[in-house]
Structure 1
């Protein structure tokens, strides 16, 4: 498992599990540019895992952790076991953020509750604007109506 540079990820001590990666460009010195896929378990919703794919910059700067990764990411969250809640959750809550550069750009995941449809909605975006609008991706996990989502 890989710890993500001390930034919050589904809680203070959560870890990402690397699922895999593909090289997208050969770099002579340093690691290649890649697309990485990582899995994150939502700590407040047991039975839900989010899979995030994102670009990872290679080269010398990328190898040293000094490169700025692209602001694009994709997300797919799925039910991977019985869904349960230890306590009520907020209507909307940031459950993950990860620095993509040494300057202020972050990848964020926000969980929203669609109470009418008893569905958890996860949105990923970067706080760096691209052409006036942040890149984003959304996914939803329906919860069986026999298990109402408890809200704070």
Structure 2
């Protein structure tokens, strides 16, 4: 019981990040055994910026290893964030703040989305990239949302 309480305490201490909702997927490579390689499209809302939704597409490795969660997914990803309502901040925004993170290999590799606020241009900028404990990847994608008035605001 003591171990369970300690584990729960650790989990509550972790920063709250958003989980993505899968919008759809397409198969890219047929595999005889296990799931096919595919591209998945996911959506998530920025936890600190109401009125912003980001859409992320990324490769997901199939086969036996992919089906068991042991494969390492490719570093390529694409992102498009859009204003979907009145934009309101629910806290102080930190440049480079992580808004989404997902494991893309069993242990060492993750894909992250970070946010920047370009105050001069009144624009939110989102960057997606992949990193690895030893060596990250320079492949990345960026999207920007000018903060505009929303109807009925």
| Bigger Rg over Cα | 2
Q: How does 1:93-112 map to 2 (within 5 A)?
A: 93-112=97-116
The equivalent of 2:6 in structure 1 is: none
1:145 offset after TM fit, Å?
A: 7.3
Which of 25, 29, 52 in structure 1 is aligned with 2:33?
29
Deviations 1:10-62 (A, max 9, x none): x6363211010000011111110000000010010001011000000001111
TM-score scaled by structure 2?
0.81
SS across alignment from 1:62 = helix
> 5+ residue gaps in structure 1?
1-10, 147-152
Whether 1:141 aligns to 2:145 is yes
The equivalent of 1:61 in structure 2 is: 65
Deviations 1:63-116 (A, max 9, x none): 111111001100000011111112221133111221111131111111001000
The equivalent of 1:114 in structure 2 is: 118
TM-score scaled by structure 1?
0.82
Over the aligned positions, Cα root-mean-square deviation in angstroms equals 1.8
